[in-house]
Amino acid sequence: LNDAFESITEGNEKQWSPDLLERTARHEAGHAFISYKVGIMPKYATIVARGSYGGYVISDNEREIHTYDELLDDICIALGARAAEIVCYGRRNGLASGASNDIRQATEIARRIITTYGMDEGFGIAAVFAEQLSGATAEMVRDIENRILSAQLERAVSFIENEKALFDKLAKALLDKNRLTKDDMEKILVSE
């Protein structure tokens, strides 16, 4: 049923090489694993490539308001795939273009923390509008964004390094089955 639904909404499945599928499984397992580590159990994960994506993870992450720590968790989840690839392939080879949308999403959250939500003590509480983001203000925002993103990337790397065997088990299950439900992931992650 999932396959039929995804075929209709997103297009036919793309056929990828075993190496690319393995990398995609680690990438998506990174999102799912970090989501689990910050207390949000993923509902679904797939590495079946269709349309413009190679896979995706859906998590129970629907909040009306977001605290500072929850926003940092959201950044950590977004960067979980990059972290997984760094842990699995090294600091240099773990940098791949597949994380571009994740990085964009994480950067947008970091920017809202700084310029919209007034949550960065160093920057201050005042909102900053797009037309004000130039010169020294833009540089300051970019520096703070990078500080936030770097800290959350390292946090995600630590989560995966500290429980690499459990992460590998999740990635292997995703590679073997191509998709995992919440129940599948709970059996892997919670039963440990």
State how far the alpha carbon of 104 is from the alpha carbons of 7, 75, 144, 167, in Å: 26, 10, 15, 24
**Global pTM value:** 0.89
Read off the pLDDT band of 54 (50, 70, 90).
confident
Least confident of 4-13, 92-101, 149-158, 181-190: 4-13
Query: Does 163 participate in catalysis according to the annotation?
Result: no
Residue pair 105/78 in contact by the 8 Å Cβ criterion: yes
* Percent of the chain scoring above 70 in pLDDT: 89
Could you report the per-residue pLDDT of 76-92, keeping only the tens digit for each? 999 999 999 999 999 99
For the residues 29-44, what does the mean pLDDT come to?
96
- Please tell me the distance from the alpha carbon of residue 140 to that of residue 146, in angstroms, as a whole number: 10
Could you report the per-residue pLDDT of 129-179, keeping only the tens digit for each? 888 888 999 999 999 999 999 999 999 999 999 999 999 999 999 999 999
Which residue among 6, 28, 85, 145 is the active-site one?
A: 28
